[in-house]
Amino acid sequence: MKKEINKGLRGVIAGATAISTIGKTSQVLNYRGYSIDDFAQQASFEEVAYLLLHEKLPTTAQLNKYKNRLRGFRNLSKAMLQILEDIPANAHPMDVMRTACSVLGCMEPETDFSKQDEVAERLLAAMPACMLYWYCFSHQGKRISLLSEEDSTAGYILHLISGKQPHELHKRCMDVSLILYAEHEFNASTFACRVCAATLSDMYSAVVSGIGTLRGPLHGGANEVAMELIQRFETPEKAVLFVKDMLEKKQLIMGFGHAIYKHSDPRNKHVKEWSKRLSALAGNETLYQVSEAIEELLRNEKNLFPNLDFYSASCYHFMGIPKKLFTPLFVCSRVAGWCAHIKEQRADNRLIRPTAKYIGPTPRPFVPITARGN
């Protein structure tokens, strides 16, 4: 019987998970049975991270204790700070994240899996600190303090970027963004984490695998490219003319469509609403109007819909996030999902080893070097 090849493993069930489910026809996304719609309206990122890693929503006491533990894991050693200072400003920010995670694994190794929850907490707390310390030192010449009174990851990130107390709307928008990016089933980077974890490697190595996979432009980085596009235009009309020309030239427009969702991305409505709110707060609605015009054009012309990345671009812009940090912020959020999948893989492990269809030469005799000619 002839075996078909599913390129990119499209449609292949590669494992089982209780962490999240993607509604391929109903266009929904649930984390451990809870709708992201409820999380985007009512929850904090820390509640979601706790749920992903511990399989249940925390009580008030558990959440407060969890947030305090994360705050305690934010600081970095002098040796780590020196390494971050030695990384040049022109380094790719995702390379910085990958290196920081690897160095943490050297300095604070996971000697056995009994401490995996502590390692996950350390990564959740330390990755934003590593990212922002490097950026502020290399791009602004500042050695920032990694201590903050902000008890949320969202508030901490915004505080370190601006050096001041963040606006409450900005803080909530960042919280929602972290929630929406936290987990997405067997995407490329998560699957890379699970493949690494299946070899019984340490959690840091598995997360490094995820970061390296997310670095590729076909997985991460769409919001950065989307920002480069929408900020080019002074009016929606100019945006429509330009994007029409892109379509005629068959150029790829990042931030639209999805490998799994066929009609809409359930995360988009939340981030789109936040883009609208933050544009009004800033007194500058051009980016939002441009984004809407591009969305309408692509839906009418190509039946394409915006994914999470498209409106995230303007949200990050209004919150004062430097464009080159858009994808590293993805890491700060998705590390929660990655670590949850690593734990799940370890709990019922089997080495992931698919087979391949051989398409090379048929068996042939070896030719001695003396008979191969000059």
Active site positions, annotated: 219, 258, 309
CB 31 within 8 A of CB 182: yes
User: Which structure tokens are listed for 280?
Assistant: 């009004």
Q: Among 289, 288, 230, 287, which Cα is nearest to 255's?
A: 230
Pair 230, 294: CB distance under 8 Å: yes
Strand 34-35 relative to strand 20-22: parallel, antiparallel, unpaired?
unpaired
Q: Which of 360, 349, 354 is nearest to 6 (CA)?
A: 354
| Contacts of 368-374 spanning 24+ positions with Cβ under 8 A | none
Cβ atoms of 233 and 289 within 8 Å: the answer is no
Q: In this structure, what is the dihedral angle of CA atoms 46, 49, 54, 60, given to the nearest 10 degrees?
A: 20
Amino acid at 357: K
Residue 206 backbone zone (phi > 0: left; psi -120 to 50: alpha; other: beta): alpha
Residue 100 CB contacts under 8 Å (≥ 6 apart), including other chains: 80, 83, 84, 126, 127, 130, 131, 134
Structure tokens at 74: 């934010």
